[in-house]
Structure 1
Amino acid sequence: MIRTATPADIPVIHTLIRELADYEKAPHEARATEAQLHEALFGDRPAVYAHIAADDTTGTPVGFALWFLNFSTWRGVHGIYLEDLYVRPTARGAGHGKALLTELARICVERGYERLEWAVLNWNAPTIAFYESLGARPQDEWTVYRLTDGPLNSLAGQTT
């Protein structure tokens, strides 16, 4: 069962983000608070969206997808950038990840978005195999760059 997240889901989304950070071996990097998530998802100007994967029998949340709109200057339309997709290890293999991606693909097609994109860690072979089984292909000709913390502040002319 896939459903749109509600404000009542903020604590479970926060917990799932922490679990994802542990899985990706970077728990120290997951600093988002429940208040920040609430503002981003449900504030005056929501910047991100989320869907919850729930166990079909119990309704218990077992995973989530958090995404936002991007824009292709070449195609002239929006797309979806999937920031996080996570399914608890005990619920993997039951179709929750595919159902979350299916819902995002449905939203793309319904709204005329032409891309659904995301990043995956190079070492995460099971997840890469899963994505490729759905027809997703890596964009090997692109390298992701990121500025954070000190370098971001330095470039902005701020002292750290």
Structure 2
Amino acid sequence: MIRELAEYTQRTDQVKTTQRDLEQDGFCRNPFFHGIISEVPQEHQSKEGYTIVAYSLYYFSYKAFTGRAVFMNQLYVMPEFRGNGIGKALMTKVAQMGLAAGCKELNFTVLDWNSRLGTFT
């Protein structure tokens, strides 16, 4: 799905991360990032047969003026599953994880041409 997101954002040439990088950096004793996936039941799988249909990557940071923050680095939902609230649910979960860690901010940057994301409240 990382490659799918790169295609969607027209940045395939920028993908340098390997599966090994992800395993080492996200599934170690002190991970550099955290991730959440969204999975659908087998009967609702994607056209290609996948049940994992969305993901979000996030990490914790610290801001000198406001303290603890969570930064949602990526949010991706497979096109055929968009519009069902999956993205909002993932963003909400990242916000909950931030609150549980004492964060006062959730930061997320959207490319200016990606108007489909709308607003989040």
Q: Same fold (TM over 0.5)?
A: yes
- 45, 53, 57: which one pairs with 1:62? 53
SS at match of 2:20: helix
Larger helix proportion, structure 1 or 2? 1
Number of residue pairs matched by the alignment: 114
Q: Which residue of 1 aligns with 2:71?
A: 81
Kindly provide the amino acid, as one letter, of the partner of residue 10 in structure 2: K
Q: Unaligned 5+ residue runs, structure 1?
A: 1-15, 136-160
Superposed CA offset, 1:28-85 (max 9, x none): 1111100000011012431100000111x2271000000111112112x311111110
Q: Which residue of 2 aligns with 1:22?
A: 7
- 94, 106, 113: which one pairs with 2:103? 113
Kindly provide the amino acid, as one letter, of the partner of residue 108 in structure 2: W
TM-score, reference length from structure 2: 0.88
In 2, distance between residues paired with 1:115 and 1:88? 27
Runs of 4+ with deviation above 3 angstroms: none
SS at match of 1:64: strand
TM-score, reference length from structure 1: 0.68
In 2, distance between residues paired with 1:67 and 1:111? 13
Aligned-residue Cα RMSD (Å) equals: 1.3
Q: Unaligned 5+ residue runs, structure 2?
A: 46-50
Kindly provide the amino acid, as one letter, of the partner of residue 100 in structure 2: E
Q: Which residue of 1 aligns with 2:48?
A: none
**Deviation of the 1:110 alpha carbon:** 2.1
Q: Which residue of 2 aligns with 1:123?
A: 113
Compare CA radii of gyration and give the structure with the larger one: 1
In 2, distance between residues paired with 1:124 and 1:25? 11
In 2, distance between residues paired with 1:35 and 1:70? 24
